[in-house]
Structure 1
């Protein structure tokens, strides 16, 4: 008998729409997935998070760290630590910044440490693009393996470049695959 799809919840804070656009691409890859705007979190969202098989964390990188709006969510969610409500859930993270380096790694480290403290199982992306695989243009253009990173598009009409959106979809698909495997 085929098991139901895993419950994947994608949390995000998006100051200017970039992180929300990236979160939607991750959700498209992980489908079905629930998107939660941490600025408008409801009791129903908390229930979905506690019941989830996987939780992803998405925040812009501002001045080398996760956004204050996302930090407020992490502090509120820490109430689940004592009872280990999120232990053994799959976790992953993503961030977007203005510059290709943009100190985004420090944000991913913050998210990975948080997940480890919550007893979660961290999963990073596996997409490999140029120069190692020139046949995959635009994939993982920042070369990040700890989590998904993207750079704000210079075209403010699209917010995130197509290669970063495809990398996000691939990351979402990986999370869904790993979560199914972890659930057995």
Structure 2
């Protein structure tokens, strides 16, 4: 089985998004590469261009993706113009301190960006409690468009283990979708 290249560009203002990105990478496998959008090099851009899948990650600030991550999205204009990311798998994740926190707006921004790039979006598939009581903590925010995580502000462990586990399974899902898509692609 071929390991497909998966890149995870993220911005993390306080470290939460980075920790989620690391859990997603663990699930996605050894070919997953974390890219901090605040420190992009030419090699990083080449990795994105060569990737089979890109999983975008940004915290939600004031109702949208953090401005620093939005700047990264705006830097791909020539990639859009030349269709460099067409037919790559795409997915997204976000964090915020409120259960809603308008995280859906961030995932909509990321999925719309992916659509404009001609990418194939993969959403979340985890079903947890209350639908499946034997899976407490799985997909706590009940998000299907992508992965949402609610930070536990003021607690010693401000990212619950269940959310990190859900992130790991989300990485596995994207890796599986990438393998399936790559097998059917000419």
TM-score by length of 2: 0.95
Q: CA shift at 1:157, angstroms?
A: 4.0
Q: 2:132 & 2:172 partners in 1: Cα distance?
A: 20
Q: Give the number of equivalent residue pairs.
A: 182
Runs of 4+ in 1 over 4 A off after TM superposition: none
**Hey, what does 1:82 align to over in structure 2?**
81
TM-score by length of 1: 0.96
Q: CA shift at 1:83, angstroms?
A: 0.6
Q: CA shift at 1:78, angstroms?
A: 2.5
The range that moved more, 141-150 or 154-163, is: 154-163
Structure 1 residue 106 corresponds to structure 2 residue 108: no
Q: CA shift at 1:125, angstroms?
A: 1.2
Deviations along 1:113-153, whole A, 9 cap, x unmatched?
Answer: 00000000000110000110011110000000000000112
Contiguous gaps of at least 5 residues in structure 2:
none
Q: 1:101 & 1:172 partners in 2: Cα distance?
A: 22
Q: 2:94 & 2:137 partners in 1: Cα distance?
A: 17
Q: 1:61 & 1:155 partners in 2: Cα distance?
A: 18
Q: CA shift at 1:93, angstroms?
A: 0.2
Q: Is the 8 A contact 1:8 1:176 kept in 2?
A: yes
Q: 1:42 & 1:93 partners in 2: Cα distance?
A: 22
Q: 1:143 & 1:137 partners in 2: Cα distance?
A: 12
Q: 2:70 & 2:80 partners in 1: Cα distance?
A: 15
Deviations along 1:16-75, whole A, 9 cap, x unmatched?
Answer: 000000000000100120000000011000000000000010000001100011011000
Q: CA shift at 1:155, angstroms?
A: 5.0
**Hey, what does 1:9 align to over in structure 2?**
7
Contiguous gaps of at least 5 residues in structure 1:
none
Q: 1:21 & 1:155 partners in 2: Cα distance?
A: 17
What RMSD, in angstroms, separates the aligned Cα atoms of the two structures?
1.0
**Hey, what does 1:127 align to over in structure 2?**
126
**Hey, what does 1:170 align to over in structure 2?**
169
Q: 1:132 & 1:141 partners in 2: Cα distance?
A: 11
